[in-house]
Structure 1
């Protein structure tokens, strides 16, 4: 059954200089999330951006 909803399984996460992590957005596909993370990472800041699947806890899955 299709109720017309989209499941957002991919997150873009940012970690600041103090180690705090923030969810930037949720996306339906990994490719979409990676495109956003790449564009944010190109801003020349020291912040880290990465993509993780819902249920992971960090850039290395820790």
Structure 2
């Protein structure tokens, strides 16, 4: 089955960035130590997004919870 033209939007997906092991850490992806997690009705857990600050992560989790879905969202620091 093919999606209608208005549903096919490949530009919405981020392009993976290649990182060389020799590249200095400060030139790699910025540190994003806070993670928004989601747990569905079956107990499956998924990483939703990484954020630079706890405040950003908490705001995002609150936005998802406000949508009224049954999923559980929480914020945790990456280890």
Q: Same fold (TM over 0.5)?
A: yes
- Structure 2 spans left out of the alignment, 5+ residues: 1-24
Match of 2:21 in 1: none
TM-score normalised by length of structure 1: 0.80
Deviations 1:13-55 (A, max 9, x none): 0000000000000011000000000000001111000000002
Aligned CA RMSD, in angstroms, stands at: 1.7
TM-score normalised by L of structure 2: 0.63
Which stretches of structure 1, 4 residues or more, deviate above 2 A after TM superposition?
A: 2-5
State the secondary structure of the residue aligned to 2:26.
coil
- SS state of the match for residue 3, structure 1? helix
* Matching residue of 1:60: none
Q: Of the two, which has the highest radius of gyration? A: 2
CA shift for structure 1 position 6:
1.8
Query: Higher strand share goes to which structure?
Result: 1
- Higher RCO structure (Cα 8 Å, ≥6 apart): 1
Aligned length: 55
Q: Which secondary structure does the structure 1 equivalent of 2:37 belong to? A: strand
